[in-house]
Amino acid sequence: MHEMVSVDASGKEVTELVEPNTIVPGDRLIFGTDYNNGSDEAVDNFVVTNPLPPAVRLAPDADTLLIVSVDGGKSFGTLSQLSVMAEDGGSRPADQADVTHVRWTLPSVAPGESGRLEYPAIIR
């Protein structure tokens, strides 16, 4: 979904999620995954891993506790725990542009429970 900010008649900023028609570099999108446990039993340690499309980067205001990968999904941690190879051959702290995957682990999903997992992204 495309995040659009407009001003209402009272001058208050209003944020809406709309289907994107045309997107350009710098536009903000919200990516989401819906889940639903249609079984009669709880699902424990439910893991959802989403690759980021190459045309987007994680938004700077994404939750700092979001679990991410910067190596194509081989390893995961919070962004502050991860590093990548720098141009000089050393390493540097990873940033939002380095994120390749996001991951959520839900401790338990009860029978009939549903929800949505989201992360904000910016078009590169």
State pLDDT tens for residues 31-71.
999 999 999 999 999 999 999 999 999 999 999 999 999 99
Local confidence band at 2 (pLDDT 50, 70, 90 cut-offs): low
- Type of residue found at 70: V
CB-based contacts of 100, cutoff 8 Å, min separation 6: 51, 52, 68, 69, 70, 71, 72, 73
Which residue from 24, 62, 50, 45 is spatially nearest to 102, judged by alpha carbons?
A: 50
Dist. CA 77–CA 80, nearest whole Å = 8
| pLDDT for the residue numbered 59 | 97
Q: What is the pTM of this model?
A: 0.80
Alpha helices in the chain (DSSP H): none
Phi, psi dihedral angles at 116 (to 5 degrees) = -140, 135
Q: How far apart are CA 34 and CA 69, in angstroms?
A: 21
pLDDT at 6: 65
Q: What is the dihedral of CA 117, 17, 68, 85, to 10 degrees?
A: 170
Q: pLDDT higher for 1 or 99?
A: 99
pLDDT band at 1 (very low <50, low <70, confident <90, very high): low
